[in-house]
Structure 1
Amino acid sequence: MKTDDLIRALAADAAPAPAPARRVLPLFLPAILVSVVAVLTVLGARPDLPQAMVSFVPVMRHVLSLAVFATALTAALHLTRPEGRAALWPLALVAAAALGLFVWAYVTTAPEGRMLALMGKTNSICLIAIPILSALPTAALFAALRGGATTRPALSGALIGLAGGGAGAAVYALHCTESSPLFYVTWYGLAVLAVTAVSGLLGPRLLRW
């Protein structure tokens, strides 16, 4: 091998791996598309989806879910560096908005209708479907961010699960016909927290370096 060829080969071997942030989109986008196709083909879109997407109360399911995804992913990306610090206050703002919406729905719903609005008719489906739809996006985020150097793998794993859960909830909302914040703040929230808890347990194993 000539000297120039050897130098080029060594340089190629020494090239740094893509930063975790650059790997998110190529890995996450196919995963979320699979989840969207799955919910539309298996469960189907809600019949009045176009109207629901422009009505305040139903569309807030998507807004809150995507806000959870964006804020949790941003925090997780900050933790991919050893010196990184995750700002959790944006997540607190999202939680406060969800709580405010829940309280507003409670106050404006007739007392005799509150329990029905809270329990809905599909809470068991919601608790099953959201974690399933979150599995592939969450796995994609783990694959993208495991190349980082987090010093808090449990927190990083939990944030990845929170982001993946938020994405899965936004996908499930394409199907869900339960429009009351009493329902979706409660049951979407529990499903997303379940994904967060499992991912937090997996973080130390999958994000070690």
Structure 2
Amino acid sequence: MKTDDLISMMAAGVAPVDRRLPLRRMAQALALGSAGSLALLLLIYGLRPDLKAMLWAPLFWIKLAFPTTLAAGSLLVLRRLLRPGQRVGANWAGIAAPSLAIWLAGALVLAVAPAAERLPLLMGFTWRSCPFNIALLSLPLCAAIVWAVRAMAPTRLRLAGAVAGLLAGAVATMVYCLHCPEMGVPFWGLWYFLGMLIPAAAGLLLGPRLLRW
């Protein structure tokens, strides 16, 4: 068989690649993972009793904005990492900006607060359990995001795993806000962030094993 004939035979009937498939798969993963995380929240922790009143409080939406913007930034970075040869570049700002914003806001709150109130603002009431609660709620998201990422073509597996874990942790924190009673900005900047770092660290360690394709 001639080479041209072989190429023609192999190319016959090949359908064009759907370029929207990765986006759809990630959207499905986030939807399924978020549903699983919410189900865990309702089963284990429940909603905060005053949630309806909190929906009218601007501070609650500021609290929710921190993990939401961090999740969006993580998603932008992850999309670049899933395409071989593409640089992340300025997209790292999507992770750095909300992190720096919450740390600066927390530092400002601590600076103007009376000395006796600074430690309670930082530690809150739930510092012992908060990061681990977030990590637990991130498990369904981790599983779903790993499923989506494995179907793509990451080459920097540790970095992709870390950012995928951070994305899972950020979305889990969004869900956790529906339960968590803490309303101190310094608390969010420390304990929420540590909670998101747990799945990120797991992704860094397990990325080469879980994301290999």
- TM bucket, shorter chain: 0.7 to 0.9
Q: Which residue of 2 aligns with 1:201?
A: 205
Q: Does the 8 Å CA contact 2:142/2:164 hold for their aligned counterparts?
A: yes
Letter in 2 for 1:60: I
Q: Which residue of 1 aligns with 2:168?
A: 164
Return the TM-score normalized by structure 2. 0.86
Amino acid at match of 2:39: V
Q: Give 3-state SS (helix, strand or coil) of 2:129's partner.
A: helix
The aligned counterpart of 2:185 is 181
Corresponding residue of 2:75: 73
Distance in 2, Cα, partners of 1:27 & 1:49 = 27
**Which amino acid in structure 2 is aligned with residue 38 of structure 1?**
L
Describe how 1:43-54 pairs up with structure 2 within 5 A: 43-54=45-56
Match for residue 88 of structure 1?
Answer: 92
Q: Choose which of 105, 109, 116 in structure 2 pairs with 1:105.
A: 109
How big is the shift at 1:49? 1.4
Are 1:69 and 1:162, in contact at CA under 8 Å, matched by a contact in 2?
yes
* TM-score, structure 1 as length reference: 0.87
User: In structure 2, what is the Cα distance between the partners aligned to 1:59 and 1:83?
Assistant: 37
Match of 1:3?
none
Q: Is the 8 A contact 2:63 2:188 kept in 1?
A: yes
Distance of 2:87 and 2:151 partners within structure 1: 17
Partner Cα distance (1:11, 1:137) in 2: 37
Matched, 1:27 2:29: yes
Counterpart residue number, 1:132: 136
Contact 2:73 2:93 in 1 (8 A): no
- Compute the displacement of 1:58 (Å): 2.9
Residue pairs, 1:112-131, within 5 angstroms: 112-131=116-135
Query: Displaced runs of 4+ in structure 1, greater than 4 A?
Result: 14-18
Between the aligned residues of both structures, percent identity stands at 31
Q: What are structure 2's unaligned runs of at least 5 residues?
A: 1-8
Structure 2 counterpart of 1:97, one-letter code:
A
Instruction: Extract unaligned runs of 5+ from structure 1.
Output: 1-6
Q: In the aligned structure 1, how far is the partner of 2:55 from the partner of 2:208?
A: 38
Distance 2:103 2:143 in 1: 29
* 1:144 equivalenced with 2:153 (yes/no): no
2:103/2:186 contact within 8 Å kept:
no
The answer to whether the Cα contact below 8 Å between 1:28 and 1:141 also exists between their aligned partners in 2 is yes
Q: Which AA in structure 1 matches 2:124? A: G
In structure 1, what is the Cα distance between the partners aligned to 2:55 and 2:105? 17
8 Å contact kept, 2:26–2:148: yes
Three-state SS of the structure 2 residue aligned to 1:123 is: coil
Q: Distance in 1 between matches of 2:87 and 2:194?
A: 26
Q: Which moved more, 1:18-27 or 1:81-90?
A: 18-27
**What amino acid does structure 2 have at the position aligned with 1:199?**
G
Cα distance change, pair 115–43 in 1 and its aligned pair in 2 (3 A): same
SS in 1 for 2:203: helix
Q: Equivalents in 2 of 1:101, 1:30: separation in Å?
A: 33
Q: Contact 1:57 / 1:180 at 8 angstroms: preserved in 2? A: no
Following superposition, the deviation at residue 19 of structure 1 comes to 3.1
